[in-house]
Amino acid sequence: MPNTPRPGHPQRLPARRTPRDSRVETAQLVLPGLTNTHGTIFGGIMMQWIDIAAGIAAARHAGGPVVTASMDRLHFLEPVQLGEVVVLLAQVNYAASTSMEVGVRVMRENQTTFTRSQATRAYLTFVAVDEQGRPRPVPVLHPETAEERRRYTDAKRRRTVRLRERRAMKNA
């Protein structure tokens, strides 16, 4: 297998990676144990699924382990009902030196009509870590399409706000 690194010889990542390289799509079925008394999914379950999909996307970009640093303003736009399928779409929008923003769009899919609508979306920040759990560098993100460039620019703006909020929290 040509892409399998030998033990003690880590695989070298390209210096630049595209958002497409990190893309993740996963689906989950909403079962009775995952719902509240209203027959809709628990918000915490949805958050867990978002974190997992985003973590996979971040690890693909970073080429190794990552940790969640933050999740931005999660708004539940539509309830997800028992028996619906939840489709999570995640990809890296922005990469700094050791951190990345991952955008996750969550769609609810009706199993009878197969129609999809957006249930929520979230932006998460991940930090790549080495074997000792210390931050390590990540490849540069190279957006290819106009939409990817827009997401990159928007993510860069959000990063500035996040860093300002983090400093304020530390100083409070």
10-residue mean pLDDT profile of the chain (172 residues): values are 46 78 98 97 97 98 97 92 97 97 97 94 97 96 97 96 90 86
pLDDT at res. 3: 47
pLDDT at res. 74: 87
pLDDT at res. 11: 54
Distance CA 46, CA 67 (A): 18
pLDDT at res. 68: 98
Q: Quote the tokens at residue 65.
A: 């382990």
pLDDT at res. 34: 98
Q: What are phi and psi of 39, to 5 degrees?
A: 80, 20
* Eight-class DSSP state of 6: P
CATH homologous superfamily for 16-171? Hotdog Thioesterase (3.10.129.10)
> Measured in whole angstroms, how far is the alpha carbon of residue 66 from the centre of its chain?
11
* Model confidence, pTM: 0.89
Distance CA 140, CA 152 (A): 12
